Structure 1
Amino acid sequence: MKIFRNLLIIFCSLLFLSSCQKTVGDYGDVRKFGDEQPLIKINYASPYKDDRMVIVKFNGRRVTSQIQNRTPFPGGGYNTRGDVRADYLTVDPGQVKVTVAMPFKKDNGLDSLELYNTTINIESGKKYVIHIADTAKFTKSVLTEENFLKPDSGYAVYRFINLMPNVPAVDLYYGQSATDNAADKLVAGNIGYLQISNYITLNRYAGRTWKIRPAGAAVTTATVLANYTSASSLLNQRTYTVYAHGYAGMSSATEKPYVSFFHIR
């Protein structure tokens, strides 16, 4: 009986150790990177009417899954597609050819149609976002260098970029509600197409409605191109990019104007 009890204890111990080992995940080939490693995020904002799926490649190699308009990749954002993470892709320094293409309906890893390509210059140790706007032969992009700022507690930091092809310049406001314009305050003014504002540091209020208007337009409800309200757009000590995108005058969900956010850090 004593031998049987000892054997049972040994068996249970081995079973416990085996179950513990099964919880260890295999994360593949994990590579640490240092301060000299460049990082990049893709802000894909091409409002095709058919809301087509695309992939993005760097120097001929796919770096995204299939994505659609309103997708910062990786990481997503607020009033965008995707989840919300301040994630980046690693990229090699030097000349990088960026290609946007449509995959085949049954994705076989090949390109069905190339939509756009450009070449960007990447420097060691820097952080970037490549913003891609407009459609077809009018597609354009701009590369912005980012700073992983951490504001003081009680504040958030923003930069605003205009990715609206048919609005030459945009004003960014914040106010108390979508319908009350009396409290609207100009945050960034006269930001041209594919231009980005300076850094803006704001106190965190309990609530804030963000609005975009054509530059210089009257501060009325009628002039608002798009608005957005979310407590997540003013998280403590976060750095955001705010962007206006879509086409003024369009009403479909795939083409209309939006004001959206994603985390830089």
Structure 2
Amino acid sequence: MRLFLVMSFCIAIFAIAACDRNEINYGDTEYVSASDAVVKLNYASLYPDNRYVFIKFNGKRVTPLIRGRQPFPGGGYNTLGDVRADFLSIKPGDVKIDVVLPHSKDDGLDSLTLYSTNVKLEAGKRYTVHFTDTGKLTKSVMTEEDFSMPDSGYARYRFINLMPNVPEVDLYYGQNATSVLADKKVASGIKYLESSEYITLNRAAGRTWKIRPAGAAVTTATVLASYTSASTLLNQRTYTVYALGYNGVKVAPTMPYVSFFHIR
């Protein structure tokens, strides 16, 4: 009996020690509060060399290496990255945002600042900062996001035009990529760097999204880009739809795209 108790005691000590060794420490956890703001970064600056960059808030790096067509955090559909409705939390106030080219070997240091801007964030609000174009022509625009959910059976969208050489864009929702018979215009004449009102649509699987220059004839020849995925029609989700790239370019990574990411 004594031997059994000693062995049991040793096994218990070993188990506790093993648990300690397998514990993963992720650092201090800081929860988002009503006094914070949350931000998503929609990096849509398409360089021909598909270069990696990182982004800083007030001099502090907040992203890994990302490329054009890669929202962060969370990625999206017809984008680079994964797919999550995530945002970064930040204390409200004036925030300086830098888009930075890293050294050829990413050692965390800046090689060249490609673009800088300043934004003002308010407590309790949700934002997306969109970036587009390249070099000295780089621009950004910030949108405030609505986290409320549509009714069951519906999804909600807002469309933004980030195509530098297309002054206005129409967004269509059609039956498939090769037919135009069922194409329905759901956002009209959206100017560069501007966004539509919210669009609520019922969930019809297998539909195709298309973008055309504003006022263009509804033909297959006028489609700048299209995308088909049932994932853009999930129940009670809120999405940002965005047009990016350059009209007239036929090859990746700078050709036109219509892409999506989750807001909620």
Fold match, TM over 0.5?
yes
Q: Residue 69 of structure 1 corresponds to which residue in structure 2?
A: 68
Q: Within 5 Å, which residues of 2 pair with 1:193-232?
A: 193-232=192-231
Q: CA deviation at 1:114?
A: 1.4
Q: TM-score, normalised by structure 1?
A: 0.95
Q: Residue 29 of structure 2 corresponds to which residue in structure 1?
A: 30
Whole-angstrom CA distance in 1 between matches of 2:230 and 2:200? 16
Does residue 183 of structure 1 match 2:155?
no
Does residue 7 of structure 1 match 2:13?
no
SS of aligned partner of 1:39:
strand
Q: Deviations over 1:216-239 (max 9, x none)?
A: 111111111111111110111111
Q: Does the Cα contact within 8 Å between 1:36 and 1:126 map onto a contact in 2?
A: no
Whole-angstrom CA distance in 2 between matches of 1:35 and 1:176? 42
SS of aligned partner of 2:221:
coil
Q: Does the Cα contact within 8 Å between 1:42 and 1:131 map onto a contact in 2?
A: yes
SS of aligned partner of 1:222:
helix
Q: Within 5 Å, which residues of 2 pair with 1:19-98?
A: 19-98=18-97
Q: Deviations over 1:182-238 (max 9, x none)?
A: 011111111000000001111011221111111111111111111111111011111
Q: Does the Cα contact within 8 Å between 2:159 and 2:241 map onto a contact in 1?
A: yes
Say which is worse superposed, 91-100 or 22-31, in terms of deviation. 22-31
Q: Which runs of 5+ in 1 are unaligned?
A: none
Cα RMSD (Å) of the superposition? 1.3
Q: Residue 254 of structure 1 corresponds to which residue in structure 2?
A: 253
Q: State the AA in 1 paired with 2:258.
A: V
Q: State the AA in 1 paired with 2:198.
A: Y
Whole-angstrom CA distance in 1 between matches of 2:204 and 2:216? 25
Q: CA deviation at 1:21?
A: 4.6
Q: Residue 237 of structure 1 corresponds to which residue in structure 2?
A: 236
Q: CA deviation at 1:11?
A: 2.6
Q: Deviations over 1:48-101 (max 9, x none)?
A: 001111111111111111110001011111111111111111122222111111
Whole-angstrom CA distance in 2 between matches of 1:152 and 1:160? 20
Whole-angstrom CA distance in 2 between matches of 1:26 and 1:148? 31
Q: Residue 136 of structure 1 corresponds to which residue in structure 2?
A: 135
Q: CA deviation at 1:163?
A: 0.3
Whole-angstrom CA distance in 2 between matches of 1:33 and 1:56? 21
Q: Deviations over 1:231-258 (max 9, x none)?
A: 1101111110000000011122110000
Percent sequence identity is 61
Q: CA deviation at 1:110?
A: 2.1
Whole-angstrom CA distance in 2 between matches of 1:11 and 1:225? 70
Whole-angstrom CA distance in 2 between matches of 1:45 and 1:191? 17
Q: Which runs of 5+ in 2 are unaligned?
A: none
Whole-angstrom CA distance in 2 between matches of 1:110 and 1:25? 28
